A and B are shown apart, each in its own frame.
Chain A
Amino acid sequence: MKVEPDPDSAREPIIEFRKAGYRLPNGQSLLEDVSVAVGRGETLALLGRSGAGKTTALKLINRMLDPSDGEILVEGKSTLRWDAIALRRHIGYVIQEIGLFPHFTIEQNVSLIPRLEQWPAERIRARVKELLSLVGLDPDTFSRRYPHELSGGQRQRVGIARALAVDPPILLMDEPFGALDPLTTGELLKEFQQLQRRLRKTIVMVTHDVGESLLLATRIALLDGGKLAGIFSAREFLSAQEPVAAAYVANFRMYEEAERANEPH
C-alpha cells in the first residue's frame, strides 16, 4: 500500500538540510543542526510536538526563512542562491492555516499562479477543472464559490489543489489534514495517498499524528525542541528506542489496546 522509496533516493537528494539552523534576530534558537536529505519521489514526515520547529523547518525549504547556520539545498543548489520567487513557484506550499484568498472564488484561488505565469485562458480553465476533480471537488459546484462558502475539509482540498496548480515537482504541506473530524481526515488521507502515487512528487509534510506519518511517509524525521531526534522508516519508528519516538508509539498503541480490551470474549 505504501509508496516505496525510490532506490536512487540516497544518491539524488532533491532537498537537503546540511547542519541547518535558524535563530530569531534576538538570538533565540528555533532550529539547530538539522541534517536530512529527501530523495526524489520520497515523502518525508516532520513529526513533533507543538513548538518543536516543524513549520520553521518547512519554511527554510522555500526560503520563507533564510537559515542562520548551515544550508538547505534544493535540487543541489543552496536556497540562498535561488531567486526566492522562482524557488517558491517551483515548490507547492500548503500552509498550516490554508490561507485561501477570501476575495477570490475557488477558481481564482486555484488559478492564481497560472494567471501570474500568464498561461492562456483556455489552459487555465482546463487546469482548474482537472485540479478540483483531482482533490475530489466537483468543478461545476465549487468553481464559482467563495472560500467562506466551503466547509473546513473542502477548503483544505482547495488548498492542496492550489499548491498543485503549476505542477511543481516538490510539495510542502503543513498539517494539511489537521483540524477536521476523524472521518473526514481519514477520507482525505486515503485520497491523498492515491494522489501521491499518481503524481510522484517529492513531499515534505508536517504532522503531529503518528498514523498519518505511517500512512503517507517513506521516512519520519522526528523533531524535538528544535533538534532532530532521529530519522526513521515506518518499521524503525515502531520499534525505536529513542525516548520521544517511543513515547509517540506508546501513545499510538493506546488505541489498539483500547480496541483489544473491548473485543468480545
Chain B
Amino acid sequence: MSILNISNLHAEVAGQPILKGLSLQVNAGEVHAIMGPNGSGKSTLANVLAGRPGYQVTSGSVTFQDMDIADQEAHERAVAGIFLAFQYPVEIPGVSNMEFLKAALESHAHAKGGNQPNAAGIIKQARELAKSLDLNPEFLKRGVNEGFSGGEKKRNEILQMLLLEPTLAVLDETDSGLDIDALQVVANGVNKFRSQDNAVILVTHYQRLLDHIQPDFVHVLADGKIVQSGDKTLALELEEKGYAWLT
C-alpha cells in the first residue's frame, strides 16, 4: 500500500530552487532514512511535505495515500496523517504543552467528525507518554518547548507523534543533540510507533541512529535530488567514505 509518492518534485524557497527533481516512494510498514550533506534540501523536503507556507512546489507531484496534496494547507495535511518532527522545534511561551496537545487532538477529532476527546484521558495519556520518554510529566504544564534543553525538545516531538498517531512521520534530525540514553529512548519510541499501517522518514546525519532503528531503505539527498538509494549498508558506507564519491 502506497503511503507517499513523490514524483520529479521541484520546489523553491524564497525564489531559490532547492529541490530539483526528487522522486521517492514510501509504502506502508517502511522506514526510509534520508542522509545527505548540509544544505542539500532535506529539511526543505520535510517542510514541503508538511505544507509550510513559503515552500513553493514548482513542478512534479506529491500524493499521500493516493491523494494529491498540492492544494492542502498544513493543518489539513496534519489531520490527514502527516506529521513533521522539527529539526528546530519552536518555543511558544504562554501556551502550555497540555493545552497545545489538547488543541491538536481536538482539531484532529473535529476534522474527522468524531467525538471530542476526553480531557482527563488526554492528560493521563500524555503523562504516560512523557514518562516513557524519560520526561518529567510536570513539563506538560510548562510553555510549549519553553526553556527545554535541545534533547527535551526532540523528545517532546516524539511525544506528540505518539499521541497524534500519524500515518506518515517525517523526523528531521530528531537524533541530533541527543545523548546516548536519550537516543535509545527516542528510538524505542519510534520502534513502538512503527506498524504495518504507517511509515517513517528519518532524516539523519548519523548511522548511529540506524543501529537503533532499522531502516528498510537509505537514500542520499544531494543538491535537491536523491542521488543514491540502498539498504542500511549504504549508511555504513557513507560513514566510511563521506558523500564526495556520490556527486
Q: Do A and B bind each other?
A: no
Interface residues of A (CB under 8 A from B): none
